[in-house]
Amino acid sequence: MPIQVLINLFIAFLWMFFQDEWGILSFIGGYIVGILVLFSMRRFFPDSFYLKRFVSILSLFFLFISESISSSIYVIRQVIGPKINVTPGIFKLETELEGDMEISLLALLLTLTPGSVVMEVSQDSRIFYIHGLNLPESEHAVIQSKIKYEKAIKEVTR
């Protein structure tokens, strides 16, 4: 993937030099031409096309934003309500992810989601111990978020 980015930047600079214009618009045009060239030559590279991973990263980012907004609304409803009726608790959650980066990313994304905190990860990195704000509802919401996050993380890292 890094070689594809460097080749694309090289094509963009070449385009800018051949156009004899030293401007950002010429560079952007060359970058787009470089994307088209690399896309047409993608079968000659050992890795997948690098913009595919970029799109996967953007989709993971927007997934996190949407999950964070929906869970924040849930927490705000709990706090603003006339009577706080929560049953906090700890539950365990198993994951399919492998590797330190994938496990850490999932733990951080689940912790940054309001209403849940990853307290501990088991030694084999397969089980998370999570504290939930309102246990029956939080557990279901965290499991649904975990499924979405795992799919998005696999698209980014694999």
Residue 56 has pLDDT above 90, yes or no: yes
Section 17-31 average pLDDT = 89
A 10 A CB-CB count for 21 gives 14
User: Residue 134 has which token pair?
Assistant: 């309102």
Residue 105 has pLDDT above 80, yes or no: yes
Section 143-150 average pLDDT = 94
pTM score above 0.85: no
How many angstroms separate the CA atoms of 112 and 126, rounded? 19
Q: What are phi and psi of 118, to 5 degrees?
A: -80, 115
Q: What is the DSSP string of 57-71?
A: HHHHHHHHHHHHHHH
Query: In a 3-state reduction of DSSP, which class is residue 132?
Result: strand
How many angstroms separate the CA atoms of 110 and 133, rounded? 13
pLDDT at position 19 is: 86
pLDDT at position 158 is: 83
How many angstroms separate the CA atoms of 145 and 137, rounded? 12
Residue 15 has pLDDT above 90, yes or no: yes
Q: Do residues 127 and 93 make contact, with C-beta atoms less than 8 angstroms apart?
A: yes
Q: What is the mean pLDDT of the chain?
A: 91
